[in-house]
Amino acid sequence: MKTYHSKNFHKYTFCLWNEVSQADFEVQKSHFKSKSGSEYFFTEDGVYRISNHWGRVANCRWRLVPLTDNKNQYTKVGFAHWNDFLPNDENAKLFFIQVDWEQKTVDFFHKDLPFYDGKAVLRNAAETAKVMKTIKQVLNEENWAKHLEYEDLDVIRKEIVESMVATDLSFNEIKRKYC
């Protein structure tokens, strides 16, 4: 497995950064400032990033795991250990999808994360984004089900989403089972 450090962590990587409180972060002179204004502080264990944008960052996919759901604060501080960085290749099947049924949200993760159980289908970045968009519609809308036969919308919703996560079948192929 590739080793990441201050010279290569920003090249084609996936990472889940953990938000840290700005009050707990000792502001110092940054080691690097990007063209977009993000600042980076390197330590022996990892890197701090102060930024107002997360997600797709150049050729990387970096997501911030927030301390709270408070979205009022635009600039956030994140920390990642060097071993939190994983390789990212837009065409390789590296990503799997997970659904939070209570929150009705969907997210993607890298296959090399320790909690990947091998049950969800692996997809490339574009396929993952497309399936996630459809899953969000199934979770939050009802018009997709108007021509289907079912007794309980929540039951069919769960069955369809679980099939989309676990198989390569298209949404239309899965829906045909309920016509």
pLDDT tens profile 50-66: 999 998 888 999 999 98
Place of tokens 């069955």: 159
Query: How large is the average pLDDT for residues 149-161?
Result: 95
Partners of 42 in the β-ladder: 47
d(CA 101, CA 166): 15
Cβ contacts of residue 158 below 8 Å, gap of 6+?
101
pLDDT at 133: 97
pTM of the prediction? 0.88
pLDDT at 28: 75
pLDDT tens profile 3-43: 999 999 999 999 999 999 877 777 678 899 998 889 999 99
pLDDT at 72: 53
